[in-house]
Amino acid sequence: GEFWDGIPSVAEDEMFAMITTFKKDPFPKKVNLGAGVYRDEDGKSWVLPAVKKAHALLIDSPDLNHEYLPIAGLAEFTNSAAKLMFTEESDVIKRGQVVSTQTISGTGANHLGASFLSRFYLFNGERQVYISRPTWVNHHAIFANVDITPVEYPYYNAETRGIDFDEMLSTMNSAPDRSIFVLHACAHNPTGLDPSREQWTAIADIMLAKGHYAFFDAAYQGFATGDLDNDAWAVREFARRGIAMLVCQSFAKNAGLYGERVGALHVVCKDDQATKKLKNQLSLITRVEFSTPPAYGAKLVNFILNDAPLYEEWRRNIRTMAGRLIEVRKELYRLLTEELKTPGNWDHVINQIGMFSFTGISEAQSKRLREEFHIYLAKNGRISLAGLNTKNIKYFAESLDTVVR
């Protein structure tokens, strides 16, 4: 009895629990603005046309089999994925400084990156990592899970609804030298606020001066501006400047391959000697955890990255998704400011970028939206814009208007 009695109860994951409750809710006008998953104008999950074609090619290929991938994954995929992130012409790629390992999507890349640092990073004092306040909730648990304490750096300023940039920089300055900072490569979750290029440059200056380590989480490449290259600017700039770094790359959102779990971890190493050592170390970790990564999604993305017409089509598909989200922002802004004359300033709805809008409403207001209006969103007021479309946006805007009055 004692064994079972000793297991403490924990709450279900907020986001996944919400999906279950939403599905059961019989209310006809219910709206799901919870998880960061793209939905099309009809509220449906979208299989990207480029992915559909890659799937057809893959299924018909005489080479298709269901063998294990190597421990580090499909090499052609991870190499192509690294080039997509850093470009083929970047020095780190040309010099063979990047170790790339296939992971269980972005979450797995975060875990493997954290696990690697937990084993080998020379912490200067406390075993800690700086994460933005707020950040993707899983960052807290992913680092705690490998005995690294997450501490927050200021990021969001609720008053200005902008980045608390001076506070962020001053925390970077006063942190012990060689601290690790988790940075969202683009389309910051949950705030929708990214540093400008000028601001990234100032961050890079401090990171270099202090010898800090950049832990880039790139879960939304393409979703900030609609362009894969634009959205990799910060990562490429940091690499160019020789900042110690790794990148967690996910194809869940930008290829719509959520459940296929396609991702990679890219660690920039000192030289090609270090690269060899690290490759085997990372494989050691993967081997005990899941042995080898899932093959299907990686094969799909590999097809797309190495076929010029498919690659162009994918880029267009990304523009379609990012473009629709921008239209949703404009329409929501128009409804609130012009049609409903909702009290308060709503400029942030159009100024923020990516999949989310950090509405700034209180937990109580968010709760009311859910309980009275059957609109499901995170407690912190974050909404996934992909859940809105021409059929439900007015209902959402009116409900939001009601709860903030």
Question: Catalytic site residues?
Answer: 136, 217, 253
DSSP 3-state assignment of 86? helix
Q: How far is the CB of 208 from ligand PLP (least distance, A)?
A: 24
If the CB atoms of residues 105 and 171 are measured against ligand PLP, the closer one turns out to be 105
**By CB under 6 A, is residue 106 in contact with ligand PLP?**
yes
Specify the stretch interacting with ligand PLP by CB under 6 A; choose among 67-75, 93-101, 164-172, 250-258.
250-258
Please choose, from the candidates 88, 14, 36, the residue with its C-alpha nearest in 3D space to the C-alpha of residue 370. Answer: 14
Contacting residue, 78, 191, 250, 286, with ligand PLP by CB under 6 A: 250
Q: How far is the CB of 306 from ligand PLP (least distance, A)?
A: 21
Q: Which helix (H) or strand (E) holds 16?
A: helix 14-24
Q: Which residue has the tokens 């975060």?
A: 110
b/e per residue 181-201 (b: at least 16 CB within 10 A):
bbbbbbbbbbbbbbbeeeebe
**By CB under 6 A, is residue 260 in contact with ligand PLP?**
no
388 class by beta-carbon count within 10 Å (0-12 exposed, 13-18 middle, 19+ buried)? buried
CA angle 46, 135, 120 (to 5 degrees): 105
If the CB atoms of residues 293 and 342 are measured against ligand PLP, the closer one turns out to be 293
If the CB atoms of residues 256 and 360 are measured against ligand PLP, the closer one turns out to be 256
Are 54 and 80 in contact, with CB atoms under 8 Å apart?
no
| 134: preceding bond cis by omega (within 30 degrees) | yes
Q: How far is the CB of 39 from ligand PLP (least distance, A)?
A: 15
**By CB under 6 A, is residue 252 in contact with ligand PLP?**
yes
Residues within window 107-136 making contact with ligand PLP, judged by CB under 6 A: 107, 110, 136
**By CB under 6 A, is residue 189 in contact with ligand PLP?**
yes
Specify the stretch interacting with ligand PLP by CB under 6 A; choose among 58-66, 99-107, 113-121, 157-165.
99-107
Are 351 and 359 in contact, with CB atoms under 8 Å apart?
no
Q: How many Å separate Cα 345 from the centre of its chain? A: 27
If the CB atoms of residues 297 and 373 are measured against ligand PLP, the closer one turns out to be 297
Query: Can you read off the two tokens belonging to residue 178?
Result: 């060689």
**By CB under 6 A, is residue 219 in contact with ligand PLP?**
yes
Q: How far is the CB of 148 from ligand PLP (least distance, A)?
A: 16
Q: How far is the CB of 213 from ligand PLP (least distance, A)?
A: 18
Q: E-assigned strands of 196-346?
A: 213-218, 245-250, 262-268
Cα 89 from Cα 86, distance rounded (Å):
8
Contacting residue, 32, 105, 317, 366, with ligand PLP by CB under 6 A: 105
**By CB under 6 A, is residue 36 in contact with ligand PLP?**
yes
* DSSP calls for 342-380: -SS--HHHHHS-SSEEE----HHHHHHHHHHH-EE--TT
Contacting residue, 164, 194, 217, 260, with ligand PLP by CB under 6 A: 217
Q: How far is the CB of 135 from ligand PLP (least distance, A)?
A: 7
**By CB under 6 A, is residue 263 in contact with ligand PLP?**
yes
**By CB under 6 A, is residue 101 in contact with ligand PLP?**
no
CA angle 140, 348, 314 (to 5 degrees): 70
If the CB atoms of residues 176 and 259 are measured against ligand PLP, the closer one turns out to be 259
Structure-derived torsion over alpha carbons of residues 102, 15, 363, 192, reported in degrees to the nearest 10:
30
Cα 58 from Cα 121, distance rounded (Å):
40
Specify the stretch interacting with ligand PLP by CB under 6 A; choose among 86-94, 106-114, 117-125, 276-284.
106-114
Q: Which helix (H) or strand (E) holds 393?
A: helix 393-404
If the CB atoms of residues 182 and 335 are measured against ligand PLP, the closer one turns out to be 182
If the CB atoms of residues 114 and 397 are measured against ligand PLP, the closer one turns out to be 114
Which residue of the chain is nearest ligand PLP when measured via CB? 106
**By CB under 6 A, is residue 32 in contact with ligand PLP?**
no
Specify the stretch interacting with ligand PLP by CB under 6 A; choose among 19-27, 103-111, 153-161, 195-203.
103-111
| Residues contributing to the site for ligand PLP (CB under 6 A) | 36, 105-107, 110, 136, 184, 189, 217, 219, 250, 252, 258, 263
